[in-house]
Structure 1
Amino acid sequence: MALTNSQYDAVMRLYNQRQISDQRALAERRRDAYLHIPRLQELDSKAAGLSVDKAYALLDPGDHRDFDLKKALAEISAERKLLLEKHGYPDNYLDMQYVCPACRDTGYIGRKKCSCFRQLELQVLYAQSNLPDTLRKDTFENFSLDYYDPSRISPQTGASSLQEAENALRTARSFVRNFHEEFENLCFYGEVGVGKTFLSHCIAGALLDRGFSVLYLTAGDMFDMLRKYKFSGSGDTGELQEFYGFLFSSDLLIIDDLGTELTNTFVSSELFTCINERILRRTPTILSTNLSVREFADTFSERTASRILGNYTLVHMSGHDIRIQKKLAGGQ
């Protein structure tokens, strides 16, 4: 996916920071070398003077001095290398050292993006996703079916906890595989601690690694940000304006723990607006809630529940709280 203007600017700021860091590191190495090998400073001053003299000679038709600048600079360079090696320094100690030598920390080789651009692009996408640091551990490969009881039957679906988990995993993988080819929204619902948030993280990480933008928010954080956006003064809306735009434009929005926040008219209205607008824009959304469909309608509104029932794939999950199971097993 193409980066937004703000995301592209963020990537280029990282390159600018790299270049500044490169220059500072070179200046520090130069100070160190000059301190221990004063002759180096003389050679560098001589090289700079020769370059200036050559420039003046080219600009002044009356200047008939004849000297080979290339040869003179080569001799200076050779002496510099000998001095550095003699004093135990690498012969390139006073050369600019780049994080990425291929593009010289510009992000581009000619007009083509360097391979390192992709790495910084992902760094920006991860930073803007608002995902917790534990995301890297929450992957499909680490999603274990061992915590789901094959004999525990869910009254919601008539399937066992294990069967529901297997279905949830298949659905999540399919969502990632077909993302941006098929428009789909997911709603993970069910008991506390059964893997709903974990699967949301798995999806987010997989899509971020493919270069899609993801915004992850707990419901409480989202509504707090929306309150600030709606009711803040005009001088305090720059960052909030960007958040509000990204709420609708991100390739994927994940709203976690819906139903745990204090619900009122504002919350119900904003949730409907968010869900409805993203449906109209065909930008996918994932919801996670401990509420049943009936409880969801009672907590928020019938029209919100109706939009979800008509436009979301409902994925029920049940079982014993995995966090408690892990503690009882000694954290294994």
Structure 2
Amino acid sequence: MSLTNAQYNSIMKGYEQTRDRNRHLAEQRRREIYTKLPEYGRLDESVGELSVAQAKLLLNGDDEALTRLRSSLKEISRQKRELLTSAGYPADYLEPVYDCPDCKDTGYIDSEDGLRKKCHCFHQQELDILYEQSHIRDMIASENFSNLSYEYYQGDDLTHFRKCVDVCRNFVQNFKQDYHNLFFYGTVGTGKSFLSGCIASELLQTGHSVIYFSASGLFDTLARYAFDSRAKEALSGFYEDLYNCDLLIIDDLGTEMTNTFVASQLFSCLNERHLRKNATIISTNLSLEELRDRYSDRVFSRITSHYDLCKLTGPDIRMCKKRMQNTSDN
């Protein structure tokens, strides 16, 4: 699958707007510092004056002029950093501002072979557009570790939840080094999708590609491409994204209409991602016994052998919140 010209232009327009916004922010910061710390402005002016003076000396045959200039500029930089930090600002407060430092908000980076390639931030925007991932953006806005709460859990339920949270934090922390998959299962409303969202939020912030699908959405998409003879090229591109993204989240497995096609496609997806060592997270309300009975033995074996099994139990948190809201309204 590929972007249309309109979709590509929309992404590039977004980068342009981001650069304009960040340039404006950088200029605001500079004016702020010049107002609050006049000495900083004088140091900036001295850089230009010093450079001109040393350049003249260099042209007149002073071979040491360049060395002295470098030494002086280094000292001025030190003084500027000291001024900022002593006033309570970060040392890099006046450095250029970028949403994505890797590509400097251009969408492209230079590869080792000298060619320009799409940055990870561009690729994630492609995935968001091609697979209509508005849900994941809404999800991570509220479902992240900063909003995590233990107040709805007690006893063994709390123990299970704390253990799962630790697993999730370790999953994120070691994502680059270690290949792991997670399987969240348990009763309805116990935080399975929430923890998936927490992980997605952290990984998106560190430049990893994430594709989110509800189980029904995933298999509907696969069926649409598989049974449309005109969509072979699109299907090939879809499989490449599905298999190669850094993290695939399949939410609510078991809510789809299960049949031999679904079981076969699920195994192929899990197996191919395992072979490529790309992480997958699955959440479901099914028990392990129901998982075994509903899907093939191969699927059950793949999940129980290659996934960290995280069981969540407790009350339906969504219902608890609703009852609390109704009580407060009354």
Flag the 1:113–1:303 CA change in 2: closer, same or farther, 3 A. closer
Question: Which residue of structure 1 lines up, in the alignment, with residue 158 of structure 2?
Answer: 162
Matches within 5 A, 1:245-324: 245-324=240-319
* Structure 1 residue 115: Cα displacement: 5.3
Flag the 1:135–1:127 CA change in 2: closer, same or farther, 3 A. farther
Flag the 1:205–1:307 CA change in 2: closer, same or farther, 3 A. same
- 2:224 matched to 1:225? no
* Structure 1 residue 192: Cα displacement: 0.5
Flag the 1:16–1:309 CA change in 2: closer, same or farther, 3 A. same
* Structure 1 residue 14: Cα displacement: 2.9
Question: Which residue of structure 2 lines up, in the alignment, with residue 137 of structure 1?
Answer: 142
The whole-number CA distance in structure 2 between the counterparts of 1:239 and 1:274 is 17
Q: Structure 1 counterpart of 2:223, which letter?
A: R
Flag the 1:292–1:126 CA change in 2: closer, same or farther, 3 A. farther
Flag the 1:175–1:123 CA change in 2: closer, same or farther, 3 A. same
TM-score, scaled to structure 2: 0.63
Flag the 1:239–1:316 CA change in 2: closer, same or farther, 3 A. same
TM-score, scaled to structure 1: 0.62
Flag the 1:166–1:239 CA change in 2: closer, same or farther, 3 A. same
* Structure 1 residue 242: Cα displacement: 2.6
Flag the 1:306–1:224 CA change in 2: closer, same or farther, 3 A. same
Identify unmatched segments of 5+ residues in structure 2: 20-95, 109-118
Q: Structure 1 counterpart of 2:174, which letter?
A: N
Question: Which residue of structure 2 lines up, in the alignment, with residue 173 of structure 1?
Answer: 169
Please tell me whether the aligned partners of residues 189 and 314 of structure 1 are also in contact (alpha carbons under 8 angstroms): yes
The whole-number CA distance in structure 1 between the counterparts of 2:145 and 2:313 is 18
- 2:198 matched to 1:202? yes
The whole-number CA distance in structure 1 between the counterparts of 2:15 and 2:168 is 37
Question: Which residue of structure 2 lines up, in the alignment, with residue 14 of structure 1?
Answer: 11
Q: Structure 2 counterpart of 1:283, which letter?
A: N
The whole-number CA distance in structure 2 between the counterparts of 1:17 and 1:161 is 44
* Structure 1 residue 244: Cα displacement: 2.0
The SS at the match of 2:185 is: strand
* Structure 1 residue 121: Cα displacement: 5.3
- 2:104 matched to 1:114? yes
For residues 207-262 of structure 1, the C-alpha deviation after alignment (integer angstroms, 9 at most, x for no partner) is: 0110000010000000001101111122x345443322111010000100001111
The whole-number CA distance in structure 2 between the counterparts of 1:12 and 1:229 is 26
Question: Which residue of structure 2 lines up, in the alignment, with residue 76 of structure 1?
Answer: none
* Structure 1 residue 312: Cα displacement: 0.5
Question: Which residue of structure 1 lines up, in the alignment, with residue 86 of structure 2?
Answer: none
Identify unmatched segments of 5+ residues in structure 1: 23-101, 151-159
For residues 26-84 of structure 1, the C-alpha deviation after alignment (integer angstroms, 9 at most, x for no partner) is: xxxxxxxxxxxxxxxxxxxxxxxxxxxxxxxxxxxxxxxxxxxxxxxxxxxxxxxxxxx
* Structure 1 residue 136: Cα displacement: 1.2
Q: Structure 2 counterpart of 1:173, which letter?
A: R
Please tell me whether the aligned partners of residues 225 and 240 of structure 1 are also in contact (alpha carbons under 8 angstroms): no
Flag the 1:240–1:307 CA change in 2: closer, same or farther, 3 A. same
Flag the 1:328–1:277 CA change in 2: closer, same or farther, 3 A. same
**What number of residue pairs does the alignment pair up?**
231
The whole-number CA distance in structure 1 between the counterparts of 2:300 and 2:210 is 24
For residues 152-184 of structure 1, the C-alpha deviation after alignment (integer angstroms, 9 at most, x for no partner) is: xxxxxxxx0000010111111110000020010
Please tell me whether the aligned partners of residues 209 and 245 of structure 2 are also in contact (alpha carbons under 8 angstroms): yes
Flag the 1:18–1:186 CA change in 2: closer, same or farther, 3 A. closer
Matches within 5 A, 1:77-156: 113-114=103-104, 117=107, 122=121, 125=124, 128-129=127-128, 130=133, 131-150=136-155
The SS at the match of 1:226 is: helix
The whole-number CA distance in structure 2 between the counterparts of 1:134 and 1:291 is 22
